[in-house]
Structure 1
Amino acid sequence: MAPRAGQPGFQGLLLVAAALSQPAAPCPFQCYCFGGPKLQLRCASGAELRQPPRDVPPDARNLTIVGANLTVLRAAAFAGGDGDGDQAAGVRLPLLSALRLTHNHIEVVEDGAFDGLPSLAALDLSHNPLRALGGGAFRGLPALRSLQLNHALVRGGPALLAALDAALAPLSELRLLGLAGNALSRLPPAALRLARLEQLDVRLNALAGLGPDELRALERDGGLPGPRLLLADNPLRCGCAARPLLAWLLNATERVPDARRLRCAAPRALLDRSLLDLDEARLRCADSGAGARGEEAEAAGPELEASYVFFGLVLALIGLIFLMVLYLNRRGIQRWMRNLREACRDQMEGYHYRYEQDADPRRAPAPAAPAGSRATSPGSGL
């Protein structure tokens, strides 16, 4: 379609209609697309959006908004209200089954933001810098089966994760939950309590492992299969604490489709080793304290070895320098040794001369007179 006159740089907005079972065509960046049940193509005028569009027909089944500046999704934003009391400003979409809102700079999702969408089965909020999520944000979505929040929860911190737990609680029909790329250090407890959840995507997070409580929560009562878990690209710590996870993986490998991609990030002795290739002997520990000490010793082993090698190299360098100094000063050392030898010879000759002088009998002192004898003078005649 040709650009409209008077709007330089305007790009036509392709509106694609597709059923939920058929993937919709990608929507151009900074556009929004929608379609009805008969796969009709439409075009709609529009500049950069700052609120949900109001010209979507009520029979639309799919709506994609990409590259807008929605920032805040207020209550009933898609169901006839904009949160400011103007109930005629929005559009009610009772048949909408798929809503994609990626890359829209959404920071806040208020309680009831998706109220009035009773048929919505798939919601994608990925790649938005969420920092606040209402505990009742998804309360009006009784039919929601797929929720994607990939790369959307990094900025929120613990408060946002707590709000996520509250927001997930009412989604009893949820089957797919995407939480990849969110720096999560633990699995959301509410996600583990969803009875119908079939797949949980937690790739590219900060999970060091899964604890016994989380592993028990992944199992369903009555022998029912638990959800599949996508766990790759997490910094797993393959120490003593990894034994429960390894045992669970060996018994339920089919539950983790990317199990072969799980790699150890610590300790250094096991860096980049496949978790499934480890044996129990490498992870054995008597108790928690001993296990912690064992992990520290195992991690410190390569460092100590490197320190010893470095120390040996330093000593070898010092020895080499010492030998080089001796070689460069060999003439001075020889002169010093010669002078020392001559000084020692002179000293020994002095001792020898004094010994010879003391041994001459003519130079010996006269013997002393016996006790009680009387000394006589030479002229006494006696």
Structure 2
Amino acid sequence: MAPRAGQPGLQGLLLVAAALSQPAAPCPFQCYCFGGPKLLLRCASGAELRQPPRDVPPDARNLTIVGANLTVLRAAAFAGGDGDQAAGVRLPLLSALRLTHNHIEVVEDGAFDGLPSLAALDLSHNPLRALGGGAFRGLPALRSLQLNHALVRGGPALLAALDAALAPLAELRLLGLAGNALSRLPPAALRLARLEQLDVRLNALAGLDPDELRALESDGGLPGPRLLLADNPLRCGCAARPLLAWLRNATERVPDSRRLRCAAPRALLDRPLLDLDGARLRCADSGADARGEEAEAAGPELEASYVFFGLVLALIGLIFLMVLYLNRRGIQRWMRNLREACRDQMEGYHYRYEQDADPRRAPAPAAPAGSRATSPGSGL
């Protein structure tokens, strides 16, 4: 995707996100590191850290905290606030903040107030269970937000709060939501006009409905965001037709489209989604399966089974013909004997019929009742 005019390109943002995804070499686990204008890193122990450090110099550009026990990020936590109000801007130049593996469970409203230059924030691998609807309200320049493996424990309430928290991030370009067991795309993420990439891999998405697909289309002349969708349990039935048609018309929008595979129905398990024929996808009869399992009617497997069955029948017919040919002499002898036996039987019937039809061999008629038998010489 080409960079937008007057804005940092997607490649630059990806470099920033990659820099946040791994701690710098001099910074071991369970510590916090910060870099100044010349990107010189200094490291301090953070194993017992329970709140953001106060010794970070005002000219720091990057701050990484790994392996601490922050648990709760209160309002203006990085600006020196007391939990009720911010104490001013303490880190005006901070542009990248990485807070992974810190056991963060709660992020309160305004937790990042006082960081006007922050462009990249990584909260991945934290067991978040509560997120304030105004948690990111003080980040007008935020362009990359990573929440990978951070929303699994929150449930529907946390996802609703996420929608509210994402709404004010008008400049957001990259949003990472991988590994969060999401069953649908966050509506607020689809409304971010400048979003360039949405990472929803390793979730629980069974597919995308038509409303989500329409929201992913370009709006206002800006291209729609790229979508990373691999490793989701997609259901490849009739409900997958819109997604399949959309993928074939916008393959470049989903870089990992070739990795999309079916998790249901069983007949299509692990089949690549793009290899299916959308016209043959249908919903199975709900009476046959209470879960409404879907199948691809007359798919390649069914066609292959028909071909195989036909070949088996042809082989059986060929074997039968070969047996007849090899036993042709015996069959001819059997047919001749059968014909002769039939002829002898018919000749016997014909002879008996002729004997029965001769009048000379017919029996004499019986005398009437009450008459006397007379002899020729009786004179009567």
Show the counterpart of 1:195.
193
Q: 2:77, 2:83 within 8 Å by CA — same for their partners in 1?
A: no
Please report how far the alpha carbon of residue 169 of structure 1 lies from its aligned counterpart in structure 2 after TM superposition.
0.1
Please report how far the alpha carbon of residue 152 of structure 1 lies from its aligned counterpart in structure 2 after TM superposition.
0.1
Q: 2:75, 2:109 within 8 Å by CA — same for their partners in 1?
A: yes
Q: 1:13, 1:33 within 8 Å by CA — same for their partners in 2?
A: no
Pair 1:169–1:26, CA change in 2 (3 A): farther
**Could you tell me how far apart the structure 1 residues matched to 2:27 and 2:344 are?**
106
SS in 1 for 2:140: coil
Show the counterpart of 1:211.
209
**Alignment partner of 1:30 is 2:30:** yes
Pair 1:332–1:55, CA change in 2 (3 A): farther
Q: 1:27, 1:66 within 8 Å by CA — same for their partners in 2?
A: no
Please report how far the alpha carbon of residue 303 of structure 1 lies from its aligned counterpart in structure 2 after TM superposition.
15
Pair 1:67–1:21, CA change in 2 (3 A): closer
**Could you tell me how far apart the structure 1 residues matched to 2:229 and 2:145 are?**
18
Pair 1:320–1:162, CA change in 2 (3 A): farther
SS in 1 for 2:293: helix
Comparing 348-357 with 97-106, which one deviates more in the overlay? 348-357
**Could you tell me how far apart the structure 1 residues matched to 2:324 and 2:88 are?**
92
Comparing 90-99 with 282-291, which one deviates more in the overlay? 282-291
Q: 1:340 aligns with which of 338, 361, 364?
A: 338
**Could you tell me how far apart the structure 2 residues matched to 1:207 and 1:118 are?**
35
Show the counterpart of 1:75.
75
**Could you tell me how far apart the structure 2 residues matched to 1:265 and 1:136 are?**
37
Show the counterpart of 1:325.
323
Please report how far the alpha carbon of residue 236 of structure 1 lies from its aligned counterpart in structure 2 after TM superposition.
0.1
> For 1:12-70, what per-residue CA distance to the aligned partner results, in whole angstroms no more than 9, with x for missing partners?
99999999999954731100000101233434455520000010000000000000000
SS in 2 for 1:190: helix
Q: 1:99, 1:122 within 8 Å by CA — same for their partners in 2?
A: yes
Q: 2:10, 2:196 within 8 Å by CA — same for their partners in 1?
A: no
Aligned residues: 380
Comparing 177-186 with 27-36, which one deviates more in the overlay? 27-36
Please report how far the alpha carbon of residue 295 of structure 1 lies from its aligned counterpart in structure 2 after TM superposition.
4.5
Query: What is the percentage of aligned positions where both structures have the same residue?
Result: 97
Q: 2:117, 2:141 within 8 Å by CA — same for their partners in 1?
A: yes
SS in 1 for 2:175: strand
Q: 1:117, 1:141 within 8 Å by CA — same for their partners in 2?
A: yes
Please report how far the alpha carbon of residue 202 of structure 1 lies from its aligned counterpart in structure 2 after TM superposition.
0.1
Q: 2:32, 2:45 within 8 Å by CA — same for their partners in 1?
A: no
**Could you tell me how far apart the structure 2 residues matched to 1:195 and 1:5 are?**
15
Pair 1:281–1:6, CA change in 2 (3 A): closer
Please report how far the alpha carbon of residue 307 of structure 1 lies from its aligned counterpart in structure 2 after TM superposition.
18
Q: 1:93, 1:117 within 8 Å by CA — same for their partners in 2?
A: yes
Q: 2:47, 2:69 within 8 Å by CA — same for their partners in 1?
A: no
Please report how far the alpha carbon of residue 168 of structure 1 lies from its aligned counterpart in structure 2 after TM superposition.
0.1
RMSD: 10.8
Show the counterpart of 1:12.
12
Please report how far the alpha carbon of residue 225 of structure 1 lies from its aligned counterpart in structure 2 after TM superposition.
1.5
Pair 1:313–1:371, CA change in 2 (3 A): same
Pair 1:315–1:374, CA change in 2 (3 A): same
- After TM superposition, the score normalised by the length of structure 2 is 0.69
Show the counterpart of 2:112.
114
Pair 1:128–1:310, CA change in 2 (3 A): farther
Pair 1:104–1:6, CA change in 2 (3 A): farther
Please report how far the alpha carbon of residue 145 of structure 1 lies from its aligned counterpart in structure 2 after TM superposition.
0.2
Unaligned 5+ runs, structure 1: none
**Could you tell me how far apart the structure 1 residues matched to 2:17 and 2:177 are?**
27
**Could you tell me how far apart the structure 2 residues matched to 1:169 and 1:250 are?**
30
**Could you tell me how far apart the structure 1 residues matched to 2:334 and 2:110 are?**
97
Pair 1:87–1:328, CA change in 2 (3 A): farther
Please report how far the alpha carbon of residue 92 of structure 1 lies from its aligned counterpart in structure 2 after TM superposition.
1.2
Please report how far the alpha carbon of residue 280 of structure 1 lies from its aligned counterpart in structure 2 after TM superposition.
2.1
Please report how far the alpha carbon of residue 276 of structure 1 lies from its aligned counterpart in structure 2 after TM superposition.
0.4
Pair 1:251–1:319, CA change in 2 (3 A): closer
Please report how far the alpha carbon of residue 191 of structure 1 lies from its aligned counterpart in structure 2 after TM superposition.
0.1
**Could you tell me how far apart the structure 1 residues matched to 2:290 and 2:326 are?**
54
Pair 1:365–1:149, CA change in 2 (3 A): same
Unaligned 5+ runs, structure 2: none
